[in-house]
């Protein structure tokens, strides 16, 4: 019966996405051994693929997997004399020993095993690790991507990625990076690193175009999954919810933002019927709950900006005044020239292109070699009807742009203003 096999495979795949990080996190908490945890989790999923088609999908797949992985760890540690102390810890993960989990044990195990993923992600994102290492470790241990997949997603060789992961795990062990959620006084300094890793993953996947590797495109789905876990595990952190809202509101526009020939479709020209209404509803709901707390941070403000776009059924209904005000707030929270450039776009829409151009003018020199500076100036000049200057600015942007989809957009605009010039 191929249908049944397919169903079981789908159940294992779903359990993998939902449970991998939990299983690994629980085993690291008990053994302190990252490699052992990964290997035993791997074996537990492999045995699910063998056993579930025969015995059926267990009622609580997560508990089954944790218990199976735990038993693998117990077996392995028994073989090593040095494993005695770890063995006692692992044994405590479930009430009884034995090699095959029995149903009664599983229910108890699920209730007893606490969710350790927050400890895992804070450790993966410790600022004593390089950003590349944080990203790779998070994908490996929390999302369960293989080393080969992570290497492909970041366009590096598999051997180099394996080395990066090994080095990071070695540093955690030998430098004494604690496996914990930081104490309250360290949280304000450490939480941004966790959120930044998740947002970087989302951005990498979101920037990948239709033709790109599927693993790379899948990074944004992994980031959203991690975002949902963070919101559940850090209910008092409004920026976690802000980040989730920001990601889903952007992801809702994913399909509509790339045209038939792979070019970027600007927001104002997107077919809004292709936006994902379900994701927009989730984003708006997540965001509104947080804003009521009155502890705004950069992710919530960016999500609020995305929400303004999401609420407009047609581009003309966009509340640019509100967006310009939100960018003003964002510039205050994150004083960067890139944010200031985005504010100039919004002000250009709210108060007219000349007002936007004045703000862009103040940024000249602050963003050398950044194609979006001349591209923004070009769009504002075009709106102001100053076509000759707009054409020059589009040419300036084309000389700097590196992403094909954006190059095609700029070329199209240049052709349009040149045609209008006659």
Partner 1 sequence: MQYMLLICGDESAAAHANDGCGGWSEEMLERGVLRGGGGLRPADEATTVRVRDEEVLLTDGPFAETREQIGGFCLIECADLDEALEVAAKHPAAGYGTIEVRPMLVPPPGVT
Instruction: List residues binding partner 1 (CB under 8 A).
Output: 126, 128, 174-178, 182, 186
Minimal distance in Å, beta carbon 178 to partner 1? 4
C-beta separation of 69 from 36 below 8 A: no
Q: Give CA separation, 382 vs 219, 341, 358, 385, 386, in Å.
A: 36, 17, 15, 5, 6
Give the torsion through C-alpha atoms of 388, 394, 397, 398, to 10 deg: -120
User: 3-state class of 264 per DSSP?
Assistant: strand
Closest CA to 284 of 258, 262, 308: 308
Minimal distance in Å, beta carbon 181 to partner 1? 12
User: How many C-beta atoms surround the C-beta of residue 105 within 10 A?
Assistant: 18
Minimal distance in Å, beta carbon 81 to partner 1? 12
Give dist(CA 197, CA 129) in Å, integer.
12
Give rounded-to-5 percent helix, strand, coil for the chain. 75, 0, 25
Output 19 or 33, the one with its CB closest to partner 1.
33
Minimal distance in Å, beta carbon 32 to partner 1? 12
Minimal distance in Å, beta carbon 118 to partner 1? 16
Output 182 or 218, the one with its CB closest to partner 1.
182
Minimal distance in Å, beta carbon 185 to partner 1? 10
Give dist(CA 288, CA 308) in Å, integer.
12
For 276, residues 6+ apart whose C-beta sits below 8 A from its C-beta are 251, 252, 253, 254, 255
Output 182 or 259, the one with its CB closest to partner 1.
182
C-beta separation of 24 from 40 below 8 A: no
User: How many C-beta atoms surround the C-beta of residue 148 within 10 A?
Assistant: 12
Output 187 or 355, the one with its CB closest to partner 1.
187
For 51, residues 6+ apart whose C-beta sits below 8 A from its C-beta are none
Cα 306 → chain centroid: 16
Output 194 or 241, the one with its CB closest to partner 1.
194
Minimal distance in Å, beta carbon 173 to partner 1? 10
Output 180 or 387, the one with its CB closest to partner 1.
180
Minimal distance in Å, beta carbon 176 to partner 1? 4
Minimal distance in Å, beta carbon 161 to partner 1? 24
Output 53 or 182, the one with its CB closest to partner 1.
182
Output 123 or 270, the one with its CB closest to partner 1.
123
User: 3-state class of 101 per DSSP?
Assistant: coil
Return the bridge partners of 264, or none: 258
Considering only the C-alpha atoms of the chain, give the largest distance between any 2 of them, rounded to a whole number of Å.
84
Output 177 or 358, the one with its CB closest to partner 1.
177
Closest CA to 397 of 414, 420, 415, 421: 414
The dihedrals phi and psi of 301, each to the nearest 5 degrees, come to -65, -45
User: 3-state class of 95 per DSSP?
Assistant: coil
């Amino acid at each position: 019966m191929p249908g049944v096999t397919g169903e079981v495979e789908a159940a294992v795949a779903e359990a993998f996405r939902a449970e991998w990080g939990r299983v690994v996190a629980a085993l690291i908490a008990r053994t302190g051994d990252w490699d052992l945890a990964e290997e035993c989790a791997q074996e537990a999923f492999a045995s699910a693929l063998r056993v579930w088609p025969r015995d059926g999908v267990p009622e609580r797949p997560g508990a089954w997997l944790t218990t199976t992985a735990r038993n693998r760890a117990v077996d392995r540690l028994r073989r090593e004399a040095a494993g005695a102390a770890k063995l006692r810890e692992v044994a405590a993960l479930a009430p009884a020993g034995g090699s095959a989990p029995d149903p009664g044990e599983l229910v108890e195990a699920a209730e007893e095993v606490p969710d350790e993923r927050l400890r895992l992600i804070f450790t993966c994102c410790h600022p004593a690790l390089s950003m590349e290492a944080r990203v790779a470790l998070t994908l490996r241990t929390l999302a369960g991507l293989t080393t080969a997949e992570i290497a492909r997603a970041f366009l590096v060789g598999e051997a180099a990625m394996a080395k990066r992961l090994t080095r990071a795990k070695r540093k955690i062990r030998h430098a004494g990076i604690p496996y914990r959620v930081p104490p309250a006084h360290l949280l304000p300094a450490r939480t941004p690193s966790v959120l930044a890793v998740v947002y970087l993953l989302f951005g990498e996947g979101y920037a990948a175009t239709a033709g790109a590797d599927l693993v790379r495109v899948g990074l944004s789905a992994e980031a959203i999954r991690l975002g949902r876990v963070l919101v559940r595990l850090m209910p008092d952190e409004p920026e976690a919810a802000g980040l989730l809202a920001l990601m889903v509101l952007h992801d809702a526009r994913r399909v509509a933002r790339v045209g038939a020939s792979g070019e970027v479709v600007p927001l104002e020209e997107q077919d809004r019927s292709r936006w994902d209404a379900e994701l927009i509803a989730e984003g708006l709901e997540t965001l509104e709950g947080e804003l009521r707390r009155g502890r705004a941070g950069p992710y919530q403000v960016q999500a609020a900006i995305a929400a303004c776009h999401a609420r407009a059924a047609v581009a003309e209904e966009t509340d640019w005044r509100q967006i310009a005000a939100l960018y003003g707030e964002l510039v205050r929270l994150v004083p960067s020239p890139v944010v200031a450039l985005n504010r100039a776009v919004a002000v250009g829409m709210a108060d007219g292109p000349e007002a936007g151009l004045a703000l862009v003018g103040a940024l000249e020199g602050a963003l050398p070699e950044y194609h979006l500076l001349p591209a923004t100036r070009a769009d504002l000049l075009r709106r102001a009807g100053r076509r000759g200057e707009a054409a020059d600015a589009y040419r300036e942007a084309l000389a700097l742009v590196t992403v094909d989809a954006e190059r095609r957009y700029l070329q199209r605009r240049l052709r349009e203003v040149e045609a209008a010039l006659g």
